[in-house]
Amino acid sequence: MDSKLLKGLLEKVRNGEATVGDTLKRLRDLPYENLDFARVDHHRAHRTRIPEVVFAANKKVSEVAAIAHSMHRTSGRFLITRATEEMHAAIGIQGAEFFPDACIIACGMPKRFAGSVLVMTAGTSDIPVAEEASLTLQFLGSKTERLYDAGVAGLHRVLDQKERFSAARVFIVVAGMEGALPSVVGGMTDKPVIAVPTSVGYGTSFGGLTALFAMLNSCVPGLAVVNIDNGFGAGCLAHRINTKR
């Protein structure tokens, strides 16, 4: 709702130019009347504690650069996922760093981090998705620990991590192929476990669907599952949980 309009309405009531009854009727429709576009965006970021993030896939280099500059002017910081080296060069803002493994460009990383999220992968091919999650967490202000290439084919690599498990407040477990690692981890901890299926695999991996469905069917109750390759979403969820008041 436009503040000026609303202010005008109230002033009319105060000045007796409008009756309470008429204004009452008018205000009942307020949810549908005009609001300033930019302010709404600010509200949303405030409400959800996830600032706007640029999803660069399918966007032109020039578009991404323009958005980055706009965000930099407003807030001094930005996060771009599914980005390329070329986009980083085109942006040309000092302090904007490109992370090739995660395909992320970040600017204005915080200095202090809360709690700790343990980010695990089953294989080395799952690392880009895990890095997307890790850097998202860092950008949002959560501390992350990495434990990569700990698949179920060699269980010792998981079983001997008891101390790191105790230290973590939330888990993100990234796995492609049969997607079994979240079940194993979920059976070993009482912390929230976020399972991230990846498109790693071929044939009946169906671009990650098999891992996704396996995770949704885990014999361990209560895994949180996100979309395929959605490291960013997992990071947002883990941050919400990690910093829950």
38 binds a copy of itself (CB under 8 A): no
167 binds a copy of itself (CB under 8 A): no
28 binds a copy of itself (CB under 8 A): yes
Nearest partner of 179 among 208, 206, 219, judged by Cα: 208
Interface segment toward a copy of itself; rule CB under 8 A; list 71-79, 85-93, 95-103, 212-220: 212-220
Could you tell me the smallest distance in angstroms from the CB atom of residue 5 to a copy of itself? Answer: 10
Could you tell me the smallest distance in angstroms from the CB atom of residue 94 to a copy of itself? Answer: 27
Nearest partner of 55 among 211, 236, 206, 212, judged by Cα: 236
Work out which of 56, 87, 96, 225 binds a copy of itself, going by CB under 8 A.
225
Q: What is the DSSP letter of 90?
A: H
In this complex, which beta carbon is closest to a copy of itself, that of residue 89 or of residue 216?
216
20 binds a copy of itself (CB under 8 A): yes
Count other C-beta atoms under 10 Å from residue 161's C-beta: 17
CB 172 within 8 A of CB 119: yes
Number of residues in contact with a copy of itself, rule: CB under 8 A?
109
Can you name the residues that pair with 147 across neighbouring β-strands?
120
The Cα–Cα gap between 13 and 238 comes to 48
3 binds a copy of itself (CB under 8 A): yes
Site for a copy of itself in 62-121 (CB under 8 A): none
218 binds a copy of itself (CB under 8 A): yes
The Cα–Cα gap between 46 and 76 comes to 16
